[in-house]
Structure 1
């Protein structure tokens, strides 16, 4: 059910990016979902130094969706083309030494990306009607995610059944090989003992 709620979520997280290394955040998202994110360095822990970061966002198939260097603030936006884990990685790319930086990442997916104030002004709706519109969009997003989960469950069941049948055939084949090897060993030992006149 976590994925069903994912399309309704807007999360802001703080990442502690080490001086040498990469910090990544991933999110499993289905296809045709809008993703918006804002990121910025938090200078409260580094009042005298101003390091910069590099950011790279990749799709489940490794396509680069966003790449930025020497940034202190920035944003990225895209519509997902395929379902899977989308990865956003951050690392320090400035020459300034220190203990690392904190990055604020405000990651919005699906329903949370809509600008409801602009929609309310454009369609001249407010109050209960606006809240009902938000709920309608949320219900549609949950319904789409449930359909996605159902399809994924069916795919996983098919893979599981195929794997189960392959393991069963492999077990039968292994048992057959073991029996054949045992018979050959008995036949060989019997011949060996007859040759040595022990039987």
Structure 2
């Protein structure tokens, strides 16, 4: 009975670890930077993934700092990125997305933050508990991959719709030009064959 109860608590912790995952989508105006934070303890794991879904050249600046303000991760003008780390200090870890270099276009950014909060030492776990933790981690990887594919599908759909609109208007412009050239040619040829009478 004690083993079943212990397995129940491990399964509950694994489910809570999955609920710790947060998927967010934000809009960054030109010259804007948005920062978020996570309170962590020594040994906690965190993974930050982001994907730019629209706007400009699909690039942003990303940085992550520790509680002392030391830079842990920085990526300039990229459309996607992943960073995972283990906290070495207790405190507030801050991650920021910036569109500071853009003068006109706003960007849409989707990002996920997930992690494992270790409440107990792994060495005392039973094999089934290890399997549950691995299962929770694999489910998280699957969710991340699915969210990435959804974002890529959205980017490709927007590109296809934009291309379709441009092709449509280019076809309309070509049709108007062909009609105007035909009208001019008919007028010009008709004028060449007019009979001119001398007075």
TM-score (norm 2): 0.49
